[in-house]
């Protein structure tokens, strides 16, 4: 059909009395061929885009611009390790040096205390871990004069600052950490990293988190390092500027949890006083019962691993004498679950826990009459 159209145009041009008709026809045909070529090229390019677009999208997942603001502090590309073990070894080196640096800092504090006792000038306002050059020179002069504490302090200070510099150098190789502030949790930091930095979906992030070990709690100043490596995700916590190491914090948290699990929490008071504070409530033809009390009100406790007695003094309750007590809730049985002992002059009364198992982690109110 194209050739027939061209022939008709040529015939028309021959019959045309316009001497420029044939040249115009050639330009028209040339433009038509160019247009067809450009259209064909555009179709080919569009086809390639449609073919490779899914693969490109899979390789570079889109990041929600609204979520991207959450991880600005992690946008700096971290050092790429070949695997999680390599990253772990690097972090372990930092942790080991932080432990030594913390011990050295404590020793510096002790030496500085001795320096204060023997110093001819007042040095109490000196920052012992960051002395100025003038302050260091003062100590050097004292060391040269034979003062041993100054010499020991200078030697230890040199080692301490050398360690801090080495730690700083290793941290730069790790990349950009998330510095913990009050209210941060390891879970949330990891989730933000996975969803914002790596573009994981919520379901995929949750799946990865299930296999992740978290540091709990986090102290302000801790540094959290997250890595997405060829063999998977890993996260580590180092001390940073916190006053305790992550290991010490974990041990304290574990001990606190054990104490809580093995403790009996209680409130003690006179029956009248407990009613006035609305700890106990009663009504017409209704027996006395325990009101709803927040856990924070149970400020007294005993660790049942090592204790089993609670003694209440009459004077502490502004009573002249005591004669009996009741434990709320009433599910506990006197003589079976606990025993009551009265002081010889009624000046105290004591509860002895007989069945520690049923009292562990519980909260009770001891109402004394």
Q: How many domains does the chain have?
A: 3
Q: Which helix (H) or strand (E) holds 73?
A: none
Assess whether pLDDT exceeds 80 at residue 306: yes
Instruction: Give the per-residue pLDDT at 60.
Output: 44
Q: Please write the tens of the pLDDT for every residue from 14-67.
A: 444 444 455 555 555 555 666 666 666 666 556 656 555 554 444 444 444 444
Distance of alpha carbon 180 from alpha carbon 243, whole angstroms: 13
Same domain, 234 and 357: no
Q: What angle do CA 308, 311, 316 make, to 5 degrees?
A: 150
Among 109-118, 145-154, 264-273, which range has the highest average pLDDT?
A: 264-273
Assess whether pLDDT exceeds 50 at residue 72: no
- Quick count: other Cβ atoms within 10 Å of Cβ 92? 12
Pairing of strands 309-313, 325-328: unpaired
Rg (CA), the chain: 39
Instruction: Give the per-residue pLDDT at 110.
Output: 93
Same domain, 218 and 274: no
- Evaluate whether 262 touches 269 at the Cβ level (below 8 Å): no
- Evaluate whether 315 touches 348 at the Cβ level (below 8 Å): no
Rounded mean pLDDT, 196-214: 91
Higher-confidence residue of 24 and 209: namely: 209
Same domain, 176 and 282: no
Distance of alpha carbon 198 from alpha carbon 205, whole angstroms: 10
Same domain, 93 and 229: yes
Distance of alpha carbon 78 from alpha carbon 234, whole angstroms: 13
pLDDT band at 125 (very low <50, low <70, confident <90, very high): confident
pLDDT band at 175 (very low <50, low <70, confident <90, very high): confident
Pull the structure tokens for residue 315.
């004077």
Mean pLDDT in the chain? 83
The percentage of residues in the chain with a pLDDT greater than 90, rounded to a whole number, is 62
Which one, of 365, 366, 357, lies nearest residue 261 by Cα?
357
Distance of alpha carbon 68 from alpha carbon 197, whole angstroms: 8
Print burial letters for 188-216: b (CB count within 10 Å at least 16), e (below 16).
Answer: ebbbbbbbbbbbbeeeebeebbeeeeebe
- Lowest-confidence region among 39-48, 255-264, 328-337: 39-48
Residue 33 lies in a domain: yes
Higher-confidence residue of 344 and 65: namely: 344
Rounded mean pLDDT, 225-245: 92
Residue 39, CB-side half-sphere exposure with 13 Å CA sphere: 6
Same domain, 193 and 335: no
pLDDT band at 173 (very low <50, low <70, confident <90, very high): confident
Q: Containing domain of residue 154, as a range?
A: 84-238
Same domain, 15 and 150: no
- Evaluate whether 152 touches 118 at the Cβ level (below 8 Å): no
Residue 67 lies in a domain: no
Same domain, 312 and 168: no
- Lowest-confidence region among 30-39, 198-207, 269-278: 30-39
Higher-confidence residue of 121 and 159: namely: 159
Q: What angle do CA 285, 289, 290 make, to 5 degrees?
A: 155
pTM above 0.75, yes or no: no
Which one, of 256, 252, 238, lies nearest residue 102 by Cα?
238
Instruction: Give the per-residue pLDDT at 43.
Output: 66
Same domain, 95 and 54: no
Assess whether pLDDT exceeds 60 at residue 176: yes
Rounded mean pLDDT, 162-187: 92
Rounded mean pLDDT, 234-261: 92
Q: Please write the tens of the pLDDT for every residue from 218-231.
A: 999 999 999 999 88
Residue 190 lies in a domain: yes
Distances (CA, A) of 360 to 95, 164, 265, 287, 336: 36, 45, 9, 27, 16
Pairing of strands 263-270, 363-368: parallel
- Evaluate whether 222 touches 238 at the Cβ level (below 8 Å): yes
Residue 256 lies in a domain: no
Same domain, 218 and 107: yes
Residue 77 lies in a domain: no
Same domain, 359 and 274: yes
Instruction: Give the total residue count for the chain.
Output: 369
Assess whether pLDDT exceeds 90 at residue 267: yes
Residue 335 lies in a domain: yes
């Amino acid at each position: 059909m194209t050739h027939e159209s061209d022939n008709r145009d040529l015939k028309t041009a021959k019959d045309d009395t316009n001497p420029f008709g044939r040249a115009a026809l050639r330009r028209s045909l040339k433009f038509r061929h160019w247009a067809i070529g450009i259209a064909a090229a555009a179709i080919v390019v569009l086809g390639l885009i449609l073919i490779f677009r899914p693969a490109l999208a899979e390789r570079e997942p889109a990041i929600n611009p609204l979520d991207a603001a959450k991880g600005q502090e992690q946008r700096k590309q971290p050092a790429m390790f070949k695997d999680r073990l390599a990253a772990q070894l690097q972090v372990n080196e930092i942790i080991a040096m932080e432990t030594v640096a913390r011990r050295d800092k404590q020793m510096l504090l002790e030496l500085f205390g001795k320096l204060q006792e023997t110093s001819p000038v007042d040095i109490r306002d000196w920052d012992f871990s960051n002395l100025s050059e003038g302050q260091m020179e003062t100590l050097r002069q004292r060391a040269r004069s034979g003062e041993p504490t100054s010499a020991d302090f200078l030697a230890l200070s040199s080692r301490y600052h050398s360690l801090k510099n080495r730690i700083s150098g290793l941290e730069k190789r790790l990349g950009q950490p998330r510095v913990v502030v009050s209210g941060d949790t390891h879970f949330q930091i990891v989730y933000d990293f996975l969803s914002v930095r790596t573009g994981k979906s919520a379901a995929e992030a949750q799946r990865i988190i299930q296999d992740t070990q978290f540091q709990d709690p986090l102290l302000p100043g801790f540094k959290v390092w997250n890595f997405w490596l060829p063999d998977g995700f890993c996260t580590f916590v180092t001390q940073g500027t916190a006053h305790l190491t992550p290991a010490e914090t974990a041990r304290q948290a574990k001990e606190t949890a054990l104490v809580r699990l093995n403790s009996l929490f209680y409130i003690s008071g006179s029956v009248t006083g407990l009613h006035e504070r609305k700890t106990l409530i009663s009504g017409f033809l209704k027996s006395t019962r325990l009101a709803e009390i927040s856990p924070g009100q149970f400020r007294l406790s005993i660790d049942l691993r090592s204790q089993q007695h609670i003694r209440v003094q009459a004077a502490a309750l502004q009573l002249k004498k005591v004669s009996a007590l009741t434990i709320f809730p009433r599910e506990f049985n006197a003589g079976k679950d606990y025993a009551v002992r009265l002081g010889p002059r009624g000046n105290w009364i004591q509860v002895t826990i007989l069945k520690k198992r049923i009292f562990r982690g519980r909260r009770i109110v001891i109402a004394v009459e």
